Structures are given as C-alpha cells and as structure tokens.
C-alpha cells in the first residue's frame, strides 16, 4: 500500500520543474501584457500627435487664407524664419449667436479683425538655460496702429515706431502645442522664396514647417535632420503678381 502511494506522488525534481514552468509562463504573460500596453500607448500617443499636427496646420492654413492687408495698420504680413505676424478675419464668439430677449443687455460689439502672431515660446529652466516650450500664438482683438507696430516689433525684435495713438490692446497669448519644438517659415514674394517678409502687402504663399525636435546647434534650418511637418499655403488676399516662372517657383521652391 505504501509503495503504491509513493508511485502516485510527485518527486522533488518534478515539483521543481512544475514550479519553474509556472513561473516561466507567468513571466511570459507579464512580458506580453507590458509589451501590448506599451504598444497601445505608443499608438495612442502617435494618434494624438497626428491629430494635433493636423489640427494646428489646418488652423494656421485657415487663418493665413483669411489674411488681408489693412491700410490704416500699415501692415500686411511681417515675418521672419521663426515668427510671423498678420491680420486676419475672425468669426464672432459664441455669445453673438445666442438668442436674447428684449430685456437682456445687448451683446458688446466684436471686431472682425484680429492681429495674430505665431512663434516658438522659449523659457528659462531651473538652471537658467533657455528651453523651447512649444508653439505660441498671440492674439490682439483690439487693433490700432500703435498696437500693430508693437506686435510687429515684439515679433521681430525691433523697436516700434513713434505714434500718437497710445491706446493699449490686450494681448492673449496661448500655447498652441507643446509637441512642436521647431518652426521654419518662408515666404513667396512672386519671384522666389525668401526667409523674411515685411510690408503692407501679403506674400503669395507661406511655407510652414513644424518639427518635434529642437534644431541642433550649428545646423541650418533648411538642413533640419528630424521629421518635418510641412505645408505650402496660398494666400488669396495677396495683391502681389507672379512674374515669369512664378508658378514653377512656387511649387518647386516650396516642396
């Protein structure tokens, strides 16, 4: 009887093998779970980044295509390789579409023109070093000649012109996206692509390029080594004329 029970029992070697196999299967399942979770997170993060870059690029495209030159502001579009300021048409806010009774106060008037500035936001970290935070957008809803000059001066790093109009305009600054750490802008003036544009008119097109990584030190912006999100935006409000070869220069120079 004792001999039969011993035959049906596990030996020490069999027990060790069974425990080892259980541990191995558990570790394999945990690794598979972690790998699947990491893959899912990467896919979701890439989906978010694709959605963000598409939304930001579409917003910039719509605003540039609604840009116009306003004579009393003495500005059409002023831009450098890493910033641009222009006037565009804005839709009224949600309050303008609300149904109101005769006893309610009237809705304050809203201007249909706004002054926009796009550039990279740079802040100092705890060590005092400059760090690129992301893409920044500045909005001025109350536009005066003085406000336009100050906005252009702030975007280009120059001094504003003297003006008798000292009315202050509120500047609303928002961080559009913290994903973008690189911005390159070029402007088509009808003949060629230029890194800077300034005048009371609009360029024919703007070449907008975003990147997720900062530009390495000593690297030319045209030689940006990382992934680039790129679009050439045509400006219908431009009064510039395309000279000989203009269409060819627009398509070849901007792509």
Residues 87-93 have a mean pLDDT of 76
Contact between 170 and 184 under an 8 Å Cβ cutoff? The reply is no
Measured between alpha carbons, how far is 125 from 119 in angstroms, rounded to an integer?
19
Residues 124-141 have a mean pLDDT of 86
Is 21 domain-assigned? Answer: no
Q: What's this model's pTM, rounded to 2 decimal places?
A: 0.69
The pLDDT value recorded for residue 92 is 65
Is 66 domain-assigned? Answer: yes
The pLDDT value recorded for residue 167 is 45
* Domain boundaries, position 182: 43-94+103-254
Query: What is the pLDDT confidence band of residue 148, given thresholds at 50, 70 and 90?
Result: low
Is 111 domain-assigned? Answer: yes
The pLDDT value recorded for residue 234 is 92
The pLDDT value recorded for residue 89 is 83
The answer on pLDDT for 243 being more than 60 is no
Is 156 domain-assigned? Answer: yes
Q: What's the chain's length in residues?
A: 255
- Per-residue pLDDT reduced to its tens digit, 47-65: 888 888 899 999 999 999 9
Residues 111-115 have a mean pLDDT of 78
DSSP letter string over the chain?
Answer: -HHHHHHHSPPHHHHHHHHHHHHHHHHHHHHHHHHHHHHHHHHHHHHHHHHHHHHHHHHHHHHHHTB--BGGGTBSEEEETTEEEEEEE----GGGGS---TTSPPPPP--SEEEEEEEEEEEE-TTS-EEEEEEEEEEESS--HHHHHHHHHHHHT-PPPP-S------EEEEEEESS--EEEEEEE-SSSEES-B-SSS--SEEEEEEESSPPPTT--GGG--S-EEEEEEE-TT------TTHHHHHHHHH-
Is 4 domain-assigned? Answer: no
Report the chain's mean pLDDT, rounded to a whole number. 78
Number of domains in the chain: 1
Is 224 domain-assigned? Answer: yes
């Amino acid at each position: 009887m004792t001999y039969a029970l011993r035959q049906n029992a596990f030996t020490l070697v069999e027990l060790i093998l069974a425990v080892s196999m259980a541990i191995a299967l558990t570790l394999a399942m945990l690794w598979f779970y972690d790998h699947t979770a990491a893959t899912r997170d990467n896919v979701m993060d890439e989906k978010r980044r694709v959605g963000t870059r598409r939304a930001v690029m579409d917003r910039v495209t719509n605003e540039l295509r609604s840009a116009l030159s306003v004579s009393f502001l003495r500005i059409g579009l002023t831009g450098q390789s890493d910033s641009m300021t222009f006037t565009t048409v804005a839709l009224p806010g949600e309050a303008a579409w609300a149904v109101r009774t005769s006893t309610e106060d009237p809705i304050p008037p809203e201007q249909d023109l706004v002054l926009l500035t796009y550039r990279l936001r740079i802040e100092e970290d705890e060590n005092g070093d400059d760090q690129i935070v992301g893409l920044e957008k500045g909005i001025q809803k109350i536009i005066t000649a003085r406000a336009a000059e100050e906005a252009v001066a702030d975007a280009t790093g120059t001094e504003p012109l003297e003006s008798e109009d000292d009315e202050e305009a509120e500047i609303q600054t928002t961080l559009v996206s913290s994903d973008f750490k690189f911005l390159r802008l070029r402007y088509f003036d009808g003949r060629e692509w230029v890194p800077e544009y300034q005048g009371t008119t609009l360029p024919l097109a703007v070449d907008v390029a975003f990147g997720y990584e900062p530009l390495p030190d000593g690297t030319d912006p045209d030689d940006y080594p990382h992934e680039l999100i790129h679009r050439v935006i045509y400006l219908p409000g431009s009064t510039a004329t395309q000279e000989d070869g203009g269409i060819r220069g627009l398509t070849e120079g901007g792509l």
